C-alpha cells in the first residue's frame, strides 16, 4: 500500500469529501470545508491510485521555523479515516508516514484508530455518547434523578426552549460567562467558530438551540452538528441563572425528545473534565475513548526549552480552567 503525502493545494477536495462521507469512521470534523475554516494549515496523507480510500489530515502550524502538528479548536477527533476496515497495522503505517519535517505533534486520533502504545506515546481521552434509536420514554427513564429533578425545576421556573437561536447570541453568552476566564480562546477562534456554524447552517447540518427565562432572556444555548448519524454537541453556553434553574438539562432533554426514535447518536464531545463527564453520563450516555498521540523529534536543546514552555503553559491553563 502506497501512502502519499499531498500538500494542501494538490488535494482533490471532491474526492476527499467523498471518502470522509463514506468512511466507516467518518466524522464532520474531517470534511475539507471544516478543516479549511478551523485549521491554520493542513496537508494530508492519502492512499488510493486515482481515488481516495484512506485519508489522514495533517493540521499544522509553523513557529520559529519549526513546523508542528496541532489539534485545532472545535475538532475533537481527527486521525485516519477509511472506507475500508481499519487495523492497528494500518494505523501504525500512517503514523510512521508522517513527514519528518513535522518535528513535533500533539494530535487527537478518533475512536476507531488504535495506535500501538509500544511504538507511540498514547493518551486515552474520554468521550460520552448516547444512542437515540429508542423512543424518548426508555431513554428518559435512564436519566439520573438529578437530571430529571433539574428538568422539573426548569419547567417550574417557566424556562422556554427555542430551536431557532442566533448563533452570535450563544457565543456572546459564553464569552460573558465561562469564556471570560478562558484566555486560550481568542477573538479569531470565535470568528472561525461562527463562520463554521453559518457554513453548517447553509448545508442544513448545523442547528442552534436556546433556553430562555420567563423574562425572555437567553440563559443557555447549544450548537449541534448532525453528520454521519451523529449529533455532535459542538458548543454550549450557560450563565448563573441557567445553572440555578436547570436550563441546560432541559435544553438537552428537549433535543433528545425531538431526536429520539431515529438512527442517531448524541455525541457529547467529552469530557476529560470529571464534572462535565459526570453531567453527560447522567443522561445515560456511554463512555467512549479516543486516543491522542505526541511525537517529539526536536533537537535536544530545543526539546528542553519546549518542555519548560509546556510546563509553564500547563500551569497557566490549569489556572484558567
Helix (H, G, I), strand (E, B) or coil at 297: coil
Grid cell locating 29? 470534523
Instruction: Round to whole Å and give the CA distance between 281 and 182.
Output: 24
Residue 185 in 3-state DSSP?
coil
How do residues 57-84 score in pLDDT, each as one tens digit? 999 999 888 899 999 999 999 999 999 9
pLDDT for 95-117, tens place per residue? Answer: 999 999 999 999 999 999 999 99
At 189, is the pLDDT very low, low, confident or very high (cuts 50, 70, 90)?
very high
pLDDT grade for 321, boundaries at 50, 70 and 90 = very low
Q: Return the C-alpha cell found at 195.
A: 463562520
Beta strands in 228-271 (DSSP E): 230-238, 265-267
- Give yes or no for a contact between 110 and 27, defined as CB atoms under 8 angstroms apart: yes
What pLDDT sits at residue 299? 78
Domains and CATH numbers, the chain: 4-119 (3.40.630), 128-288 (3.40.630.30)
Indicate the range of 75-89, 147-161, 173-187, 278-292 predicted with least confidence. 173-187
Confidence band, pLDDT 50/70/90 cuts, at residue 179 = confident
pLDDT at 300: 63
Q: Identify whether the C-beta of residue 40 lies closer than 8 Å to the C-beta of residue 52.
A: no
How many C-beta neighbours within 10 Å does residue 161 have?
Answer: 19
Question: How far does Cα 213 stand from its chain's mean position?
Answer: 29
Which pLDDT score is estimated for 51? 83
Looking at the predicted structure, is the pLDDT value of residue 316 above 60? Answer: no
Contacts of 261 (CB under 8 A, 6+ apart): 132, 133, 134, 135, 136
Q: How far is CA 29 from CA 34, 81, 230, 242, in A?
A: 6, 11, 12, 29
The mean pLDDT of the chain is: 91
pLDDT tier at 307, thresholds 50, 70, 90: low
Q: Which residues contact 163 (CB under 8 A, 6 or more apart)?
A: 207, 208, 209, 258
Check whether 308 has a pLDDT greater than 70.
no
Q: Is the peptide bond before 271 cis (omega within 30 degrees of 0)?
A: yes
pLDDT of residue 306: 52
| pLDDT given at position 274 | 86
- Residue whose C-alpha cell reads 528542553 in the numeric block: 304
What's the pLDDT at 216? 95
pLDDT band at 182 (very low <50, low <70, confident <90, very high): confident
3-state secondary structure of 22: helix
With contact defined as beta carbons under 8 Å apart, do 257 and 224 qualify?
no
Phi and psi of 9, rounded to 5°? -70, -15
- Is pLDDT above 60 for 313? no
**How much is the average pLDDT of 4-30?**
97
| Residue 33 DSSP class | H
| Pairwise pLDDT comparison (68 vs 298), residue with the higher score | 68
Residues 182 and 219 sit within 8 Å (Cβ to Cβ): no
Over range 296-314, report the average pLDDT. 58
Q: Which three cell numbers stand for residue 271?
A: 469530557
In this structure, are residues 81 and 25 in contact, taking their beta carbons and an 8 Å threshold? yes
What percentage of the chain reaches a pLDDT higher than 70? Answer: 93
CB within 8 A of 27, min separation 6: which ones? 20, 77, 81, 110, 227, 228, 230, 232
Report pTM. 0.91
Q: Could you give the count of Cα atoms lying within 13 Å of 4 in the half-sphere of its Cβ?
A: 14
Helix (H, G, I), strand (E, B) or coil at 175: helix
Amino acid at each position: 500500500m502506497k501512502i502519499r503525502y499531498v500538500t494542501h493545494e494538490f488535494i482533490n477536495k471532491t474526492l476527499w469529501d467523498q471518502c470522509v462521507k463514506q468512511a466507516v469512521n467518518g466524522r464532520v470534523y474531517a470534511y475539507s470545508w471544516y478543516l479549511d475554516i478551523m485549521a491554520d494549515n493542513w496537508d494530508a496523507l492519502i492512499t488510493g491510485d486515482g481515488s481516495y480510500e484512506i485519508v489522514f489530515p495533517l493540521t499544522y502550524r509553523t513557529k520559529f521555523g519549526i513546523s508542528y502538528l496541532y489539534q485545532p479548536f472545535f475538532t475533537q477527533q481527527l486521525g485516519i479515516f477509511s472506507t475500508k476496515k481499519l487495523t492497528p497495522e494500518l494505523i501504525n503505517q500512517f503514523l510512521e508516514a508522517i513527514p519528518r519535517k513535522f518535528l513535533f505533534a500533539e494530535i487527537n486520533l478518533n475512536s476507531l484508530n488504535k495506535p500501538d502504545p509500544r511504538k507511540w506515546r498514547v493518551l486515552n481521552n474520554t468521550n460520552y455518547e448516547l444512542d437515540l434509536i429508542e423512543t424518548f420514554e426508555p431513554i428518559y427513564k435512564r436519566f439520573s434523578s438529578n437530571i430529571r429533578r433539574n428538568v422539573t425545576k426548569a419547567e417550574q421556573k417557566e424556562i422556554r426552549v427555542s430551536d431557532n437561536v442566533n448563533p452570535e447570541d450563544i457565543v456572546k453568552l459564553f464569552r460573558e460567562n465561562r469564556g471570560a476566564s478562558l484566555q486560550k480562546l481568542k477573538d479569531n477562534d470565535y470568528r472561525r467558530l461562527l463562520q463554521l456554524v453559518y457554513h453548517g447552517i447553509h448545508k442544513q447540518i448545523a442547528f442552534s438551540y436556546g433556553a430562555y427565562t420567563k423574562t425572555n432572556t437567553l440563559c443557555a444555548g447549544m450548537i449541534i452538528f448532525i453528520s454521519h448519524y451523529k449529533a455532535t454537541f459542538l458548543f454550549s453556553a450557560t450563565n448563573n441563572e441557567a445553572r440555578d434553574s436547570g436550563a441546560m438539562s432541559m435544553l438537552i432533554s428537549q433535543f433528545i425528545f425531538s431526536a429520539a426514535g431515529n438512527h442517531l447518536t448524541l455525541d457529547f464531545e467529552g469530557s476529560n473534565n470529571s464534572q462535565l463527564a459526570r453531567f453527560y453520563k447522567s443522561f445515560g450516555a456511554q463512555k467512549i475513548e479516543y486516543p491522542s498521540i505526541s511525537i517529539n523529534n526536536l533537537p535536544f536543546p530545543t526539546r528542553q526549552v519546549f518542555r519548560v514552555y509546556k510546563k509553564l503553559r500547563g500551569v497557566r491553563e490549569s489556572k484558567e480552567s
